[in-house]
Structure 1
Amino acid sequence: MEPQGEKPAEGEGVRITPQLLKARTGEFALESILLLRLRSLGLADLGCLGECLGLEWLDLSGNALTHLGPLASLRQLTVLNVSNNRLTTLEPLATCENLQSLNAAGNLLATPGQLQCLTGLRGLEYLRLRDPLARLSNPLCTNPSYWAGVRELLPGLKVIDGERVTGRGSELYQLCRDLDSSLRPSSSPGPRATEAQPWVEPGYWESWPTRSSSILEEACRQFQDTLQECRDLDLQATNSLAQAEQALSPAGATSSFIF
């Protein structure tokens, strides 16, 4: 059963309480929570969230938040997702000095001036204000020059709305370009010139971070899960192809098939 916060009054949203946080994380001390997902819980009040002073990674997407006041005390916060809420200001984030990535798509930010509070965040590199795939945006994004305005206001950004500030295309595009380059045949003569080589050494994907970090550990867990899904899909595809080849083999080669 999904843990709940304090029971809201009629017409109000859910409020974050110590009980809710402890039930979702298993931590007894709020200061010990490093990573927190509170997605789509109907949250309207962040309550005691400001007491999670060690928090590094926070997902508050898909709620009913209109303010972020308690986040002002989270000086260790590195990654924040507040997409798909009802925010008209990001002012409390001005003191989140370690913030590197912010997703605020799908809110009510109407002017570039509402991003002025982010200018002091020297480590902020990734900002999302619109997400076409999720059909999320902000009113300020309707201005054709908003992208250039954001870039001028926050010159330290490397990626805006998933697009690289310098270079061509998205980060994924650039990654694919780098991979393509690494697979180009060598210019040196000999039979090895056209041989395709593995991208990484055997066992590379099983590596884990050598230093403790909740963000790195969580990323590795998600990657391992995705990698296992790919292996399962590959096995299913191999089995399906084998069955198809058997079914399409010349008549008389086999008399029956089991699917």
Structure 2
Amino acid sequence: MADCEEDPNSLVLDFTAKGLKIVEIPNDIQPTGLICDRNDIAKIENLDNHPYLKQVSLACNHIVRMNGISVLKHLNVLNLATNSIVNIEGLEELSELSWLDLSGNSIKNFSPLCKNTQLHHVDLSDNSIACITDLSPLTHLQTLLLHGNTISSLKTVPSYLPRQLSVLSLESNEIQDLNEISYLSCLENLDQLSIARNPCVILTSLYPFKVV
């Protein structure tokens, strides 16, 4: 049985750690939230009859393809952290999506997100991203988490990252040259920046002389 948390405006079904292999919601209820974290789910399916879901969490499963999420046109929050996703797909028509967690997957390219213009929080940490691709259409984006990837250059930032970004995490990437940080000067509203555990920072701490 699912644990249900209900208030006057929403019904959230919580199937966390139930040993589920498929997503299955009774057709006679219309929840606004679904949590199926820490199960054995390999495929996103059986959501067609529940188009009014606004929040879905399927973290810590075995999902490879995410295209089954495309039927949820009113989705605001999506958590697919710690799965086996390689490609971002199925989000093109989710015009209301504002919060997205795809951390801990095997994603290399995040350019498909450029169509989700209402996003304000994106977590792509601990993936396989080697370069920053175009997110400039995301004019509401405030937080972008890219730590734990293989990014080595920030040259594309002035053209590809929205100027209003306030939180950016680049910790534990492959940035060799500390001068790359100068490309972030265009982000005039940046309040929080992390570049720890990059080669340029490690070398600077080991050899604290002036770089010219």
Partner of 1:113: 155
User: Would you say 1:161 and 2:194 are equivalent positions?
Assistant: yes
| In 2: Cα distance, 1:107 partner to 1:114 partner | 16
| In 1: Cα distance, 2:163 partner to 2:157 partner | 14
- 2:122 alignment partner, one of 80, 98, 104: 80
| In 1: Cα distance, 2:188 partner to 2:144 partner | 15
Greater helix percent: which structure? 1
Question: In the alignment, is the contact (CA less than 8 A) between 1:105 and 1:138 conserved in 2?
Answer: yes
Partner of 1:138: 173
Number of equivalenced pairs: 140
Partner of 1:16: 66
**Same amino acid, percent of matched pairs:** 25
Deviation at 1:154, TM superposition (A): 2.1
Determine helix, strand or coil for the equivalent of 1:40: coil
Task: Give runs of aligned pairs for residues 124-203 of structure 1, distance below 5 A.
Answer: 124-130=165-171, 137-140=172-175, 142-147=176-181, 149-161=182-194
The TM-score with structure 2 as length reference comes to: 0.59
The TM-score with structure 1 as length reference comes to: 0.49
- The residue type paired with residue 167 of structure 2 is Y
Question: In the alignment, is the contact (CA less than 8 A) between 1:91 and 1:117 conserved in 2?
Answer: no
Compared CA separation, residues 125 and 77, structure 1 to 2 (3 A) = same
Greater strand percent: which structure? 2
Compared CA separation, residues 151 and 67, structure 1 to 2 (3 A) = closer
Partner of 2:82: 40
Question: In the alignment, is the contact (CA less than 8 A) between 1:5 and 1:17 conserved in 2?
Answer: no
Compared CA separation, residues 90 and 145, structure 1 to 2 (3 A) = closer
Compared CA separation, residues 144 and 70, structure 1 to 2 (3 A) = closer
Determine helix, strand or coil for the equivalent of 2:122: strand
| In 2: Cα distance, 1:92 partner to 1:5 partner | 28
Determine helix, strand or coil for the equivalent of 2:135: helix
Compared CA separation, residues 67 and 61, structure 1 to 2 (3 A) = same
| In 1: Cα distance, 2:163 partner to 2:154 partner | 18
Q: Which runs of 5+ in 2 are unaligned?
A: 1-19, 21-38, 45-62, 197-212
Partner of 1:212: none
- The residue type paired with residue 75 of structure 1 is T
Question: In the alignment, is the contact (CA less than 8 A) between 1:90 and 1:117 conserved in 2?
Answer: no
- Look at both structures and tell me which one has the larger radius of gyration over its CA atoms: 1
Question: In the alignment, is the contact (CA less than 8 A) between 2:157 and 2:184 conserved in 1?
Answer: no
Determine helix, strand or coil for the equivalent of 2:129: coil
Q: Which runs of 5+ in 1 are unaligned?
A: 7-12, 23-28, 131-136, 164-259
| In 2: Cα distance, 1:95 partner to 1:112 partner | 18
- The residue type paired with residue 152 of structure 1 is S
